[in-house]
């Protein structure tokens, strides 16, 4: 049953415009942060501890740019997922789907899996493009890339890709929840991005230690493999608990609510 | 229409109740949105294999009722069955139900075919059905075009195609002719007839009463969430007395004819139309010959004589206009005029139940 909902959702997501838009946006975000990171690297260390060309030549240098793309990647993932879920209410297509699949939790699970696989594909594709961009930038800035292709470099890249994927999926799940609860893609995207980006940043700046509790901050920490304020394991545990609770509420609401759209 | 399309359709299953057979049956179906009562104790009986019209003023609760039947809205009270399964177990019967609810809504960027594929995959329906139903509704050649490029008529037809995907035994169509031109309406009408010929039960809501009168055998009328009539369309129309419309050559003739009719005990009145030469007489066509002879004998010249049967629209307006604030006395209940079990001779429309 979940497979049917999954396959059905993929019929929609196969359309070219969605691919170009989503994959393009995610690739653009990742490539842009990679280029900016490498282009902005200093020749010599400064007092601020900014990234240097020598640091970029290490095995972890390839993933330095990708690390910075966590929040923007998350914002795009959130928007895509919120659009896919909220749009069903806004377009009135949800009623068609529910007549063919009255098991609402099954429908939601299938749609969720489809959106996540779509996003995982997008993150992987964007990472490949970003790696290409990183090599080009390294050549332009005279950075040695020998260490990037070493075993340690590849392991580092693999770990980062996993972290980015987890982070993007976390943002996407929040997007789906927002879409279901707010029943509108536009409102879900607007409200969600307002809360996840500026509001969380303000709260983090205003209240010390807040970054350990806010979902977008935690997901950003996960994308970076852990940060000074939130270690990877703690961030993953806290976010997982948030998402589990929120998903349960969203499923409960979705299953019980009257479909009047 | 393709041979495959003709070779499709289903066997009717329904609930047997004594000698009657209902595809849909509800008892006291009620839906309340906050303080507003959208549907109030509806006792529906939709005979299997019939085309049943569902009419009522805007906001009467038609769409809410349909949504309850389709499991999209939870009833606040009441019970019912659809194709023999209880309303609360929609998953048991929805695989045999096709529905078009409140107009066709599809993904604009997808083609008609892709939109149907979304539903086919979701419902575990054979993909071969897509071409069959597109052909059946006359969209075979436009299936690959994006939905956003479809005209309103094509959108309605795609909605009907989507409803036909699961080879439904019950087809629920909410305003399928909304916004269509006369040609489109005629097409939909022919389509609905063909579905009924295939053995489907068709439950169709519409504002176009003339359409309902033409295609439906059975009728459900609701107002303010309450059932005010259900039964055969002919029963409803037969319950209204037919009239003879007579036009005389002169006003003086009309006055004399009126006096004559009063003398023989016929109810008649001048309408005031056409220089007060037109008279409506409470009688059916059988009286026309006698009337003509009487008029001739009295030297009255008739220039027009015709029987006029009331239309569904007139009956509908009379039912809905005559109903005052609902009271226990005029509430429709099983066994009253609204109950087909007992309404073989429909009461005069709008008549309050004793």
SS (H, E, C) chain A: CHHHHHHHHHHHHCCHHHHHHHHHHHHHHHHHHHHHHHHCCECCCCCCCCCEHHHHCCCCHHHHHHHCCHHHHHHHHHHHHHHHHHHHHHHCCHHHHHHHCCCHHHHHHHHHHHHHHHHHHHHHHHHHHHHHHHHHHHHHHCCCCCHHHCHHHHHHHHHHHHHHHHHHHHHHHHHHHHHHHHCCHHHHHHHHHHHHHHHHHHHHHHCCCHHHCCHHHHHHHHHCCCCCCCCHHHHHHHHHHHHHHHHHHHHHHHHHCCCCC
A102 with B117: Cβ contact below 8 A? no
Give residue A181's pLDDT.
94
Please list every residue in chain A whose beta carbon sits closer than 8 Å to the beta carbon of residue B70.
95, 98-99
Checking if the pLDDT of B118 tops 80, the result is yes
Whether residue A243 has pLDDT greater than 60: yes
- Is residue A78 over pLDDT 70? yes
Pairwise CB contact (< 8 Å): A102 & B94: yes
The yes-or-no verdict on residue B337 having pLDDT over 90 is no
Residue B315 φ/ψ, nearest 5 degrees? -60, -40
What average pLDDT does the segment A44-73 reach? 83
pLDDT in tens, A138-154: 999 888 888 988 999 89
Contacts of B246 (CB under 8 A, 6+ apart): B257, B278, B279, B281, B291, B302, B304, B305
Alpha-carbon distances of B202 from B12, B90, B176, rounded to whole Å: 11, 18, 12
For the segment A93-118, the average pLDDT, to the nearest whole number, is 95
**Least CB–CB distance from B101: residue in A95, A102, A256:** A95
User: Looking at CA atoms only, how far is residue A198 from chain B in angstroms?
Assistant: 32
Q: Do B106 and A96 touch (CB under 8 A)?
A: yes
pLDDT at B326 over 60: no
pLDDT attached to residue B323: 57
Which of these ranges, A214-223, B157-166, B266-275, B278-287, has the smallest mean pLDDT?
Answer: B266-275
ipTM at complex level: 0.88
Cβ-nearest to B122 among A91, A101, A256: A101
The confidence score (pLDDT) of residue B341 equals 36
Confidence of residue A171 (pLDDT cuts 50, 70, 90): very high
Q: What is the pLDDT of residue B332?
A: 32
- A252 vs B9: which has the higher pLDDT: A252
Mean pLDDT of chain A: 91
CA distance B162 to chain A (A): 9
Q: What tens digit of pLDDT does each residue of B176-189 get?
A: 888 788 888 888 88
- When comparing pLDDT for A167 and B311, which is higher? A167
By percentage, how much of chain B surpasses pLDDT 90? 45
Residues 77-96, chain A, touching B (beta carbon < 8 A): 91-93, 95-96
- Smallest Cα distance from B271 to chain A, Å: 47
pLDDT at B178: 81
Residues of chain B contacting A15 with CB distance shorter than 8 Å: 109-110, 114
More confident residue, B289 or B324: B289
Interval B7-50: pLDDT, tens: 333 333 444 444 358 999 999 999 999 989 999 999 999 999 99
Does residue B52 register a pLDDT over 80?
yes
- In A93-132, the residues whose Cβ lies within 8 Å of chain B are 93, 95-103, 107
**Cα–Cα distance for residue pair B213/B233, rounded to 1 Å:** 7
A258/B contact by beta carbon, under 8 A:
yes
pLDDT of residue B269: 86
**A12, A14, A17, A99: best to mutate for the B interface, most B CBs within 10 A:** A99
Average pLDDT rounded to a whole number, residues B151-179: 92
The pLDDT of residue A43: 84
Average pLDDT, integer, range B236-243: 76
* pLDDT at residue B272 in the model: 67
Distance between CA B132 and CA B3 in Å, rounded? 9
**What's the gap in Å between the CA of A87 and the closest CA on chain B?**
9
* pLDDT for B338: 35
Q: What is the DSSP string of B194-217?
A: HHHHTT-EEEEE-S-HHHHHHH-S
Q: Vertex B18, ends B12 and B22: CA angle to 5°?
A: 35
Question: Among B305, B297, B152, B320, which residue's Cα sits nearest to residue B236?
Answer: B320
Decide if A97 and B72 are in contact by the 8 Å CB cutoff.
Answer: no
pLDDT surpasses 90 at A230:
no
Q: Give A92→chain B minimum CA distance, Å.
A: 6
How confident is the model at residue B266, as a pLDDT?
A: 87
- What is the pTM (predicted TM-score) of this model? 0.81
Residue B102 pLDDT = 86
Q: Inter-chain contact B123–A101, Cβ cutoff 8 Å?
A: yes
In chain A, % of residues over pLDDT 90? 62
Dist CA A150 CA B186 (whole Å): 73
Torsion of CA A51, A55, A60, A61, to 10 degrees: 70
User: pLDDT band for position A18 (50/70/90)?
Assistant: confident
Mutation site for B-interface testing, chosen from A4, A92, A100 by largest number of B Cβ within 10 Å: A100
- Coil, helix or strand at residue B334: coil
Q: Which helix (H) or strand (E) holds B115?
A: helix B112-123
> What pLDDT is stored for residue A60 in this prediction?
84
Please report the pLDDT score of residue B273 as a whole number.
61
CB contact under 8 A, B119 and A4: no
The mean per-residue pLDDT over the stretch B122-143 comes to: 93
- Least confidently predicted of A81-95, B129-143, B270-284: B270-284
Q: Rounded to whole angstroms, how far apart are CA atoms B220 and B59?
A: 15
Question: A–B: how many Cβ contacts below 8 A?
Answer: 84
Contacts of B72 (CB under 8 A, 6+ apart): A95, A98, A99, A258, A259, A260, B101
Residue range A104-126: mean pLDDT, rounded: 94
Cβ contact, residue pair A11, B114, below 8 Å: yes
For B110, the closest of A15, A103, A260 (CB atoms) is: A15
What is the pLDDT confidence band of residue B331, given thresholds at 50, 70 and 90? very low
Task: Identify the pLDDT of residue B322.
Answer: 60
- For residue B349, the model assigns a pLDDT of 36
Highest mean pLDDT among A240-254, B171-185, B244-258 belongs to A240-254
Contact list in A for residue B114 (CB cut-off 8 A) is 11-12, 15
Structure tokens at B132: 């069959």
Which among A7, A17, A96 has CB closest to B162? A96
Q: In this predicted structure, what is the pLDDT of residue B307?
A: 84
The answer to whether B349 and B232 have CB atoms below 8 angstroms apart is no
* Interfacial residues of B (vs A; Cβ cutoff 8 Å): 67, 70-74, 90-91, 94, 97, 99, 101-102, 105-110, 114, 117-119, 121-125, 162, 165-166
Contact A15 B114 (CB under 8 A): yes
B72 and A258 within 8 Å at the Cβ level: the answer is yes
- Compute the nearest-CA separation of A74 from chain B (Å): 25
Mean pLDDT taken over chain B: 82
CA-nearest of A173, A139, A138, A168 to A64 is A138
Residue B6, pLDDT score = 34
Q: Is pLDDT above 60 for B333?
A: no
> In angstroms, what separates the C-alpha of B164 from chain A's closest C-alpha?
12
Cβ neighbours of residue B234 closer than 8 Å, sequence gap 6 or more = none
| Pairwise CB contact (< 8 Å): A8 & B71 | no
Q: Which residues of B touch A98 (CB under 8 A)?
A: 70-72
Question: What distance in Å separates residue B38's CA from the closest CA in chain A?
Answer: 12
The CA distance from B205 to B210, in Å, is 12
Q: Would you call A96 and B107 a contact, using CB atoms and an 8 Å cutoff? A: no
**Mean pLDDT across A44-57:** 81
């Amino acid at each position: 049953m979940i497979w049917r909902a999954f396959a059905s959702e993929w019929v929609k997501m196969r359309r070219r415009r969605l691919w170009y838009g989503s994959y393009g946006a995610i690739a653009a975000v990742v490539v842009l942060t990679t280029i900016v990171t490498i282009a902005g690297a200093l020749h010599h260390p400064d007092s601020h501890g900014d990234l240097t060309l020598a640091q970029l030549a290490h095995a972890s240098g390839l993933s330095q740019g990708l690390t910075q793309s966590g929040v923007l990647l998350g914002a795009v993932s959130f928007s895509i997922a919120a659009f896919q879920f909220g749009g069903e209410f806004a377009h009135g297509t949800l009623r068609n789907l529910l007549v063919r699949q009255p098991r609402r939790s099954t429908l939601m699970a299938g749609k969720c899996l489809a959106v996540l696989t779509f996003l995982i594909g997008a993150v992987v594709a964007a990472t490949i493009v970003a790696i290409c961009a990183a090599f080009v930038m390294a050549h332009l800035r005279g950075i040695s890339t020998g260490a990037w292709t070493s075993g340690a470099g590849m392991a580092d890249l693999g770990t980062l890709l996993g972290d980015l994927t987890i982070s993007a999926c976390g943002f996407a799940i929040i997007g789906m929840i927002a879409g279901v609860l707010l029943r509108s893609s536009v409102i879900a995207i607007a409200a969600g991005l307002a809360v996840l980006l500026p509001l969380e940043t303000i709260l983090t700046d205003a209240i010390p230690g807040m970054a350990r509790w806010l979902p977008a901050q935690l997901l950003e920490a996960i994308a970076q493999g852990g940060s000074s304020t939130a270690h990877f394991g703690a961030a993953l545990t806290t976010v997982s608990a948030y998402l589990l609770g929120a998903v349960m509420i969203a499923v409960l609401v979705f299953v019980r609510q009257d479909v009047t759209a | 229409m393709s041979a495959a399309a003709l070779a499709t359709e289903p066997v009717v299953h329904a609930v047997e109740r004594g000698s009657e057979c209902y595809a849909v049956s509800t008892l006291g179906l009620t839906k309340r949105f906050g303080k507003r009562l959208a549907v109030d104790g509806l006792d529906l009986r939709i005979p299997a294999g019939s085309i049943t019209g569902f009419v009522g003023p805007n906001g009467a609760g038609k769409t809410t009722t349909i949504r309850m039947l389709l499991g999209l809205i939870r009833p606040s009270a009441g019970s019912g069955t659809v194709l023999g399964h209880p309303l609360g177990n929609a998953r048991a019967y929805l695989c045999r139900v096709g529905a078009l609810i409140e107009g066709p809504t599809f993904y604009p960027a997808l083609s008609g075919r892709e939109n149907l594929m979304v539903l086919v995959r979701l419902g575990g329906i054979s993909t071969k059905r897509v071409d069959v139903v597109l052909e059946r509704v006359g969209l075979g050649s436009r299936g690959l075009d994006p939905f956003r490029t479809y005209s309103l008529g094509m959108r309605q037809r795609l909605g009907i195609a989507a409803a036909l995907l699961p080879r439904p035994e019950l087809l629920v169509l909410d305003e399928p002719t909304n916004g269509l031109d006369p040609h489109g309406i005629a097409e939909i009408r022919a389509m609905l007839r063909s579905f009924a010929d295939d053995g489907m039960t068709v439950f169709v809501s519409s504002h176009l009463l003339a359409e309902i009168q033409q295609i439906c055998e059975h009728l459900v009328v609701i107002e303010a969430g309450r059932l005010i009539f259900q039964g055969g369309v002919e029963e409803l129309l037969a319950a209204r007395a037919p009239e003879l419309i007579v036009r005389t050559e002169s006003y003086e003739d009309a006055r004399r004819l009126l006096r004559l009719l009063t003398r023989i005990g016929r109810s008649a009145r001048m309408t005031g139309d056409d220089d007060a030469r037109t008279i409506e007489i409470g009688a059916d066509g059988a009286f026309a010959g006698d009337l003509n002879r009487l008029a001739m004998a009295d030297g009255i010249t008739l220039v027009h004589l015709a029987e006029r049967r009331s239309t569904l629209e007139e009956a509908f307006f009379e039912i809905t206009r005559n109903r005052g604030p609902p009271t226990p006395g005029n509430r429709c209940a099983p066994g009253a005029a609204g109950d087909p079990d007992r309404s073989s001779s429909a009461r005069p429309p709008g008549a309050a139940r004793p």
